């Protein structure tokens, strides 16, 4: 009798990269190269669009310095990105939704594993009463159901990961725009993340202003609902059994004679 290892699927699914579970969601521009490589490996997915986000014009590129001309005097601003993430309503919404979907996926995975174990135990109990042909058919059907369930669960895990990356990319882009706007309004030409700064006076800190403008610009993200592809594997239709031909059954395509 064949042996299955449903626990191996749990290891694969739960080991997928999860920015929401690692606590390091993004720093503007940090994940651009990694996301481009991942987009080449995954099918395109409709991006989540920020709600009520006004159209923004790209900032003009300053002309290069003339030969021999010194750069302008630095005017420095400090931004605490983790603090902005903590108070961002859109960021909180995405984190909670991704955690909810991952939790539901894990529950469905555990339920599927139990169903596989029950089916294996039932087949082992009935093994002595089955003919070799019946046993092979039952084993093949069970293997097909497990394979289909594994495929559905893998697709759901992939969709959740892609959703998290798409939504966080939207917030990252909005944060970059807000930081530039606040810096321009303060005549700041250099913005540093707070972890790189050992000491700074409060007037250098732009975090509170950036966080407030970010919440006004993108209060939430329009996340797609969990579609049919994310339905629990236990709800997937099972393959219909082949009808057994009876001795007195009419051949296909031939109608019974009426008296």
CA atoms 193, 98, 20, 93: torsion sign:
positive
Look at 222 and 228; give whichever has higher pLDDT. Answer: 222
At 166-224, the pLDDT tens digits run: 999 999 999 999 999 999 999 999 999 999 999 989 999 999 999 999 999 999 999 98
Pairing mode, if any, of strands 76-79 and 221-222?
unpaired
- Band of pLDDT at residue 106, cut at 50, 70 and 90: very high
The DSSP-derived string for 63-114 is PPPPTTPPPPPP-EEEE-HHHHHHH-HHHHHHHHHHHHHHHHHHHHHHHHHH
Residue with tokens 């042996």: 3
- Report yes or no: 19 and 164 within 8 Å, Cβ to Cβ: yes
């Amino acid at each position: 009798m064949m042996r299955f290892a449903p626990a191996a699927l749990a290891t694969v699914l739960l080991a997928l990269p999860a920015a929401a579970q690692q606590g390091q969601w993004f720093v503007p521009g940090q994940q651009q190269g990694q996301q481009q490589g991942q987009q080449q490996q995954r099918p395109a997915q409709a991006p989540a669009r920020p709600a009520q986000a006004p159209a923004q014009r790209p900032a003009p590129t300053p002309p290069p310095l003339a030969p021999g001309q010194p750069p302008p005097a630095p005017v420095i601003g400090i931004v605490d990105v983790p603090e902005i993430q903590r108070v961002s309503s859109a960021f909180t919404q995405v984190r909670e939704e991704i955690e909810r979907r991952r939790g539901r996926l894990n529950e469905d995975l555990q339920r599927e594993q139990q169903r596989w174990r029950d089916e294996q135990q039932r087949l082992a109990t009935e093994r002595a009463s089955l003919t070799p042909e019946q046993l092979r058919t039952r084993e093949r059907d069970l293997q097909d159901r497990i394979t289909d369930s594994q495929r559905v669960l893998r697709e759901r895990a992939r969709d959740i990961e892609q959703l998290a990356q798409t939504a966080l990319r939207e917030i990252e882009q909005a944060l970059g725009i807000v930081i530039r706007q606040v810096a321009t309004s303060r005549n700041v030409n250099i913005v540093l993340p707070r972890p790189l700064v050992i000491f700074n006076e409060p007037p250098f800190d732009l975090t509170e202003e950036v966080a407030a403008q970010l919440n006004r610009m993108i209060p939430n993200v329009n996340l797609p609902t969990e579609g049919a592809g994310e339905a629990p594997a236990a709800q997937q239709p099972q393959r219909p059994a082949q009808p057994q031909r009876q001795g007195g059954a009419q051949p296909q395509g031939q109608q019974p004679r009426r008296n």
